[in-house]
Amino acid sequence: MSISVQVDDFDVGAEINALSDGRTDIGAVVTFTGLVRDMAGGEKIADMELEHYPGMTEKALANIEAEANARWDLQASRIIHRYGTLAAGAQIVMVATASPHRADAFEAAEFIMDFLKSRAPFWKKEGTADSGKWVDARDADEDALNRWS
């Protein structure tokens, strides 16, 4: 289990290798990568500013990861979330889960992402050509949490 909150980009391939390196007991690795889209609500997005709450962010990510490990049979997990100004196309977040069987790895990765969306203290501001706009939380993201309760 490990989490990172960082400005720097990450290498998904290297992260997967680090999870499974030297191990022969892992049967499945699932990864999710979130990217900055260049369109939102019909508007062209140049970049995205991600603000976070240093201290609380690390705690929230560690709690979400620990909860996933308690619920599913995971052999390893990794969460990386970037902050700062990210250009369209840039990687924002990565979740990787490793398990003997794929069902646990898939579900745990989805669970972690659902909680990151609305329970990790990050706020996104979309930068268009002439202004910035804070992204509203979506009801669908809140609803997504209910299926795990």
Q: Which residues bind another protein (CB under 8 A)?
A: 34, 51-53, 55-56, 59, 81, 92-93, 113, 116-125, 134-137, 141-142
Q: Smallest distance from the beta carbon of 31 to another protein, in angstroms?
A: 14
- 15 token code pair: 């992260």
> From the CB of 115, what's the least distance to another protein, in Å?
9
Measured from the CB atom, is 84 or 121 closer to another protein?
121
Least CB distance to another protein at residue 122 (A): 4
Please give the Cα distance from 83 to 23 (Å, whole number): 32
Q: What is the DSSP string of 21-72?
A: TT-S---EEEEEEEE--SEETTEE--EEEEEE-TTHHHHHHHHHHHHHHHHS
Distances (CA, A) of 113 to 108, 130, 131: 9, 31, 28
Whose Cβ is closer to another protein: residue 78's or residue 124's?
124
Tell me whether residue 134 or residue 148 sits nearer to another protein (CB atom).
Answer: 134
* Shortest spacing between CB 72 and another protein, in angstroms: 19
